[in-house]
Chain A
Amino acid sequence: MGKVFAFHGGIHPPENKKQSTREPIGQLPLPKRLYVPLQQHIGMAASPIVEVGQTVLKGQLIAEPVGRISAALHAPTSGRVLSIGPHPVPHASGLDSDCICIESDGEDRWVEHQGIEDYAAMERDDLIEHIRQCGIAGMGGAGFPTDVKLHLGDDHIVNTLIINAAECEPYITADDMLMRERADQIIGGIRILHHLIKPSHVIIGIEDNKAHAIHTLEKALKGCELNIDIQVVPTKYPSGGERQLIKLLTDIEVPSGKIPADIGIVCQNVGTMSAVYRAVHFGEPLISRVVTVTGDAVARPQNFEALIGTPFADLLDAANLYEDRLYRLVMGGPMMGVTVEHDQIPVIKTTNCIIAASREEMPPAAPEQPCIRCGMCEQVCPAELLPQQLYWFAKGREFDKAKHHNLFDCIECGACAYVCPSSIPLVQYYRFAKSEIRTEEAEQRKADHARQRFEARQARLEREKAEKEARRKARAEEAAKAQKARKAPEASASGSPELDLNALKTAAAVARTKLKKAQKALDAARESGEGDLSALEAALASAQTSADKAQADLDKAQSGSAAPAGNDGPDIKQLKTAAAVARTKLKKARDALKNAETKGLDGLDKLRATVQELETRADEADKAYQQASGANTQDSAGSEASEAAPVDLKALKQQVSIMRTKLKKSEAALADLEGEERAQAEQALETLRQRHAEADRAFKAAEQAQLDKAAAQGVDLKKLKVDAAMARAAVTKLERSLDKTEEAEARASLESELAAARRKAEELNETLKQHETA
Chain B
Amino acid sequence: MSLIRMSSPHVYKANSTANVMRLVTLAMLPGVLAMTVFFGWGTLIQIVWASLLALGFEAAMLKLRKRPLGFYLGDFSAVVTAALIAVSLPPLAPWWLTGVGVFVAIVIAKHLYGGLGQNPFNPAMVAYALLLISFPVEMTRWNAPFVLIDGASVASFMDTLGAIFGSVEPAFYDQFTGATPLDELRHRGGLTTEEVWRQSAVLAEGIGAWHAVSAAWLMGGIFLLYRKVITWHAPIAMLATLALLSSMFFGYDPDNYADPLFHMTTGATMLAAFFIITDPVSSATSNRGRLVFGAGIGLLVFIIRTWGNYPDGFAFAVLLMNLAAPFIDLYTQPRSYGHTRANKGRGGNA
Contact = CB atoms under 8 A, between A and B. Distances in A.
Interface of A: 7-8, 11, 13-14, 92, 94, 170, 243, 247, 253-258, 326-330, 332, 334-343, 355, 357, 362, 364-367, 369-376, 378-379, 382-386, 388-389, 392-393, 396, 398, 400-401, 404-406, 409, 412, 414, 417-423, 425, 427-428, 431
Contacts of A392: 350
8 contacts: A258-B338, A327-B4, A376-B15, A378-B285, A384-B337, A401-B347, A409-B336, A409-B338
Interface of B: 1-13, 15-17, 19-20, 71, 75, 77, 115-118, 228-229, 231, 280-281, 283, 285-287, 290, 329, 333-340, 343, 346-350
A170 B9 CA distance: 11
A335 B329 contact: no
A334 B116 contact: no
B13 A13 contact: yes
A396 B338 contact: no
A539 B188 CA distance: 75
Contact of B2 (A342, A365, A374): A342
Given A332-B8, A386-B334, A425-B7, 4 more contacts: A8-B337, A342-B2, A370-B116, A412-B8
Given A328-B4, A341-B2, A373-B281, A384 B335 contact: yes
> Chain A: interface secondary structure?
loop
A243 B334 CA distance: 18
Given A365-B6, A378-B286, A396-B350, A13 B11 contact: yes
A339 B10 contact: yes
A255 B290 CA distance: 27
A365 B5 CA distance: 12
Contacts of B5: 94, 339, 341
Given A372-B77, A386-B334, A340 B12 contact: no
A427 B231 contact: no
A654 B294 CA distance: 87
Contacts of A337: 8, 10
B12 A367 contact: no
B16 A375 contact: no
B117 A370 contact: yes
A253 B118 contact: no
Contacts of A254: 338
A359 to B, nearest CB: 10
Contact of B336 (A367, A372, A384): A384
What are the nearest 4 A-B pairs in CB distance? A392-B350, A414-B9, A404-B347, A370-B117
B186 to A, nearest CB: 35
B6 A339 contact: yes
Given A366-B12, A366-B16, A389-B329, A342 B337 contact: no
Contacts of A414: 8-9
B116 A372 contact: yes
Contacts of A404: 343, 346-347
A88 to B, nearest CB: 11
Given A370-B116, A371-B117, A423-B16, A255 B11 contact: no
A256 B7 contact: no
A386 B12 CA distance: 19
Nearest to B115: A370
A375 B231 contact: yes
B349 A389 contact: yes
A328 B10 contact: yes
A357 B338 contact: no
Most buried by B among A336, A422, A428: A422
A616 B110 CA distance: 83
Most buried by A among B4, B115, B340: B4
Nearest to A338: B8
Nearest to B346: A404
Given A341-B5, A378-B287, A405-B333, A373 B280 contact: yes
Nearest to A391: B350
A170 to B, nearest CB: 7
Given A258-B338, A369-B75, A389-B285, A431 B7 contact: yes
Contact of A383 (B4, B337, B347): B337
Contacts of A355: 10
Nearest to B71: A367
B74 to A, nearest CB: 9
A332 B287 CA distance: 33
A75 to B, nearest CB: 27
A343 B1 CA distance: 7
B20 A374 contact: yes
B16 A255 contact: no
Nearest to B15: A421
A8 B337 CA distance: 9
Nearest to B9: A414
A433 to B, nearest CB: 13
A282 to B, nearest CB: 36
Contacts of A406: 336, 339, 343
B337 A418 contact: no
Nearest to A426: B9
Given A362-B11, A371-B117, A374-B20, A385 B3 contact: no
Contacts of A255: 338-340
Given A372-B117, A384-B337, A421 B285 contact: no
Contact of B13 (A384, A409, A419): A419
Given A336-B9, A375-B231, A389-B329, A421 B4 contact: no
A364 B10 CA distance: 8
Nearest to B7: A428
A265 to B, nearest CB: 13
Most buried by A among B3, B5, B16, B335: B3
Contacts of B329: 389
Contacts of A420: 12, 15
A153 B9 CA distance: 35
Contacts of A409: 336-339
Contacts of A412: 8
A256 B338 contact: yes
Contacts of A334: 8-11
B1 A393 contact: no
Contacts of B338: 243, 253-258, 383, 409
Contacts of B116: 369-370, 372
Nearest to B335: A384
Nearest to A316: B1
B9 A418 contact: yes
Contact of B8 (A256, A336, A389): A336
Most buried by B among A335, A338, A369, A382: A369
A628 B287 CA distance: 80
